[in-house]
Structure 1
Amino acid sequence: MSASRPNFQSLSAGLLAAIVGFASSFAIVIQGLSASGASVAEATSGLMALSISMGLCSIVASLKTKIPVSIAWSTPGAALLASAGPVDGGFAAAVGAFIVCAILIVLAGLVRPFGRAVAAIPAPLANAMLAGVLFGLCLAPVKAVAELPLSALAIIAVWAIALRFLRLFAIPLAMAMTFVIALYISGPIDLSATDLITTPVLISPVFSIEALVSIALPLFIVTMASQNIPGVAVLKAYGYEPHSGPLFTLSGVFSLLSAPFGGHAVNLAAITAAMCASEDAHKDPGQRYWAAATSGAVYILFGLFAGFVMAFVAATPSILIEAVAGLALLSAFAFSIGEATKSPETRDSAIITFMVTASGVSFFGVSGAFWGLLAGGAFMALARTRRAN
């Protein structure tokens, strides 16, 4: 058995996973927190809290289990926040919903029947709801071309070329191009007022039924169905046998720790999990956990300096940030809508879920994501009753 220590291969794989994981989706996180009513300071605090939480969670989980457990923030959850918008009570109510969501994730890991109930949500409906949430955000690149054609087309061109030759770096390079354009438009960015180490902001939560139904429950469902469950599947695909319950509970605990500082949720990663669990991370599968632990350490560093990221974002036209977020979500949208409509038996139910969710309408202050899942589930139950007769 080889000595238990990291080598250059595992360290470099972990570094790459962290860079890709952070750079490819932080714009979505910022957009989601801001849409929920967060101020710049609160959004920065949320970005910091999420980065540090997923870093620490990845380190603890990987060193404890000796398998490459990669942790990420809930990108679909951030997209949900961006589409749902603010609720009564502002960002404090959203934080209350984040806390409830974290408790539900903990329970999903601790209480087996509860976890099985979550896994029993029909996959076509969960994917259709996610696709509906992502649809409006994926239109942002087109809207950006209409508003700032030269800048948006330059970003899209960089993304498209990188997607062809350097797929993993497509979004990071598109974001780098966005910052170059921002520097050209606004000139040198003033960092004199930016703290070297990001200052956390403690937010007193407000709990409301509207935030519970509009944010907490949909956030919990998309985080479990689109991140935690696939994250376990990725590890199994590489020959590992993770105990999902404790991992869900651990991610829920770290979500709970980040929530009062503005973080919406952390969970098992899927894409970066594959980077840390593959042979590229280490020839010996028993040593690949060092790659995931390394990515966790890098995430912590990113969190400490989140203020500098926000300084660049603040100097960039918001439509361009939204465009990059939309580009980053295209593959997730394509996968979700494909999975949702794959089976002819559930296709109609999935399309109903998608349409209601994508409409963006809300009733009684409750967002379309909840009503979409409810409408699709009701139609699915009706269809099954008809077939039974």
Structure 2
Amino acid sequence: MLSILKDFSLSAVVAGFVAVLIGFASSVAIVFQAAQASGADSNVIVSWIMALGLGMGASCFFLSLWYKAPVITAWSTPGAALLATSLGQISYAESIGVFIFAGALALLTGVTGLFDKLMRLVPLPIACAMLAGVLFKFGLGIFESLKTDTFLVAAMLVTYLVVKYFLPRYVILIVLLVGILLSVMRSDDAMLSQIPLSIGHFVWVSPEWNISALIGIGIPLFIVTMTAQNIPGVAVMRSSQYQVPVSPLISWTGIASVILAPLGGFAFNLAAITAAICSGNECHRDPKRRYIAGLSAGVFYLLAGLAGTSVVALFSVFPHTMIAALAGIALLATIGVNLKSAVSDDQYREAALVTFLVTVSGVSFAGIASAFWGIVIGSAFLLAAKVAKK
């Protein structure tokens, strides 16, 4: 406790809050679609939000505290998108079986150390290029939002430029406050008054096992979570110089998925976008004190999960343009740092550039995300260049 109080900083707490805000607001609608596709009613959907909040909150808090690093976990957004289009043909109980199976595969991958060994083979410039590609669309999101919501986004950008010069440590906090203030000022008062103030409740459903669903949905859920979420998540930690052992992290997300699946916790993984927010200089200048952001995110995830329907309704008040602009502004420095790391070394420049372009393209083969193919194709270019020199 004394160590936490000593390392405590408002900027790190704000980074954790912004990570939770962006994590929930940017993709909770996809989770709703996945739950509805599984046949969940409104009570079960609330249980999903609570289970996800509990799993992310506990894993963020305790893993960050244990490793003294900002370990940020999240639900699998691409996994939710996959489920939204795949669960319509099976029962809800069979969907629970799919979640447990995918979580067990993640646990097995972590326990065997296979994922960690593969990631250590990837050179840092390649990993940085892939991460920059994943984050790049969020940077573009600032200016796409500027086109459709000029006043709000311009005000946030001007705030960022001014405050970064005078109070760089609190720049994201002030940008957030400006965005919230302007959004609330132009929102419908009736909409705000209709936000329910209540705590949700869990709904337990025992799993049923459908072999076809386990193979046809469970394995793709595992693959898309590992390639689109865990690989970029590890890249965030590597690019920020956090040498946290990956295998235990993957194992714990798998355990969380298995335990919380009957309540609606469909898939947990390492975060990338929100983790980058908690790992940058805006969080804290001292990397050793950024773990406070992980603790903060854990607390806010837990509160968001307990609030259930209230939090989801509150997030619906914030316009998409505000969330997109906030995410992009919070990630600007991280994108720049990773682009610099990717291309600064002549030996890796071309391979890193290819990795970046493939990742940005969003190309997908065999249902596997572009982040994975970026690393594969970029590494192939690097290998070919080394062979040619010989």
Taking structure 2 as the reference length, what is the TM-score of the superposition? 0.72
Label 1:15 to 1:143 Cα distance change in 2 as closer, same or farther (>3 A): closer
Q: RMSD of the TM alignment (CA)?
A: 4.5
* Counterpart amino acid of residue 128 in structure 1: A
Pick from 259, 265, 287: which aligns with 1:261?
265
Distance in 2 (alpha carbons) for counterparts of 1:370 and 1:360: 10
* Contact 1:162-1:170 at 8 Å conserved across structures: yes
Q: Secondary structure of 2:345's partner?
A: coil
> What are the residue-to-residue correspondences of 1:361-376 with 2, within 5 Å?
361-376=363-378
Q: Unpaired segments of 5 or more residues in structure 2?
A: 37-41, 89-94, 208-212
Aligned to 1:285: none
Counterpart of 1:219 in structure 2: which amino acid?
Q
Q: 1:92 to 1:191 in 2, by over 3 A?
A: farther
Pairs within 5 Å for 1:225-240: 225-227=235-237, 229=238, 233-234=241-242
SS of the residue 1:265 aligns to: strand
Q: 1:61 to 1:48 in 2, by over 3 A?
A: same
Q: CA shift at 1:129, angstroms? A: 1.9
1:117 maps to what in 2? 118
Asked if 1:165 is matched to 2:175, the reply is no
Q: What is the alpha-carbon distance in structure 2 between the residues aligned to residue 358 and residue 97 of structure 1? A: 30
Give the partner amino acid of 1:90: T
8 Å CA contact 1:159–1:174 kept in 2: the answer is: yes
The one-letter amino acid of 1:132's match is: G
Q: Which amino acid letter does the alignment assign opposite residue 250 of structure 1?
A: W
Equivalent AA in structure 2 for residue 346 of structure 1? Y
Match in the other structure for 2:229? 219
Q: Name 2:91's counterpart in structure 1.
A: none
Contact kept in structure 2, 1:252 and 1:266, CA below 8 Å: no
Change (3 A) 1:333 1:202: farther
What's the % identity of the aligned pairs? 25
Of 5, 23, 33, the match for 1:9: 5
- Mapped to 2, the partners of 1:245 and 1:33 lie a distance apart of 28
Task: Find the counterpart in structure 2 of residue 139 from structure 1.
Answer: 140
Query: 1:73: which partner in 2?
Result: 73
Tell me how many residue pairs correspond in the alignment. 362
Partner of 1:250: 252
Partner residue, 1:323:
325
Match of residue 22 from structure 2: 27
Instruction: Tell me the equivalent position of 1:335.
Output: 337
Q: Report Cα offsets for 1:113-132 as digits up to 9, x if no partner.
A: 54222222232222222222
> Within 1, Cα distance between the matches of 2:323 and 2:30?
13
Q: Is the 8 A contact 2:17 2:296 kept in 1?
A: no
2:265 aligned partner, one-letter code: F
Superposed, 1:170-181 pairs within 5 Å as 170-181=171-182
Q: What is the identity, as a one-letter code, of the residue corresponding to 1:30?
A: A
Amino acid at match of 2:370: G
Work out the CA distance in 1 between the residues paired with 2:47 and 2:167. Answer: 32
Is there any run of 5+ residues in structure 1 with no aligned partner, and where?
237-241, 282-287
The separation in 2 between residues aligned to 1:277 and 1:167, in whole angstroms, is 10
Give the whole-Å Cα distance in 1 for the aligned partners of 2:98 and 2:371: 15
User: Are the equivalent residues in 2 in contact too, given 1:276–1:289 (CA < 8 A)?
Assistant: no
Change (3 A) 1:167 1:310: farther
Q: Distance in 1 between matches of 2:85 and 2:30?
A: 10
Between the aligned partners of 2:380 and 2:4, the Cα distance in structure 1 is: 53
Q: Is the 8 A contact 1:214 1:370 kept in 2?
A: no
Q: Which amino acid aligns with 1:370?
A: F
**Counterpart position of 2:387:** 385
TM-score (norm 1): 0.72
When residues 342 and 51 of structure 1 are mapped into structure 2, their CA distance, relative to the original with a 3 A threshold, is farther
Checking the alignment, whether the CA contact within 8 Å between 1:17 and 1:276 is kept in structure 2 is yes
Cα deviation per residue 1:335-364 (whole Å; 9 max; x = unaligned)?
222222122112111111211221223345
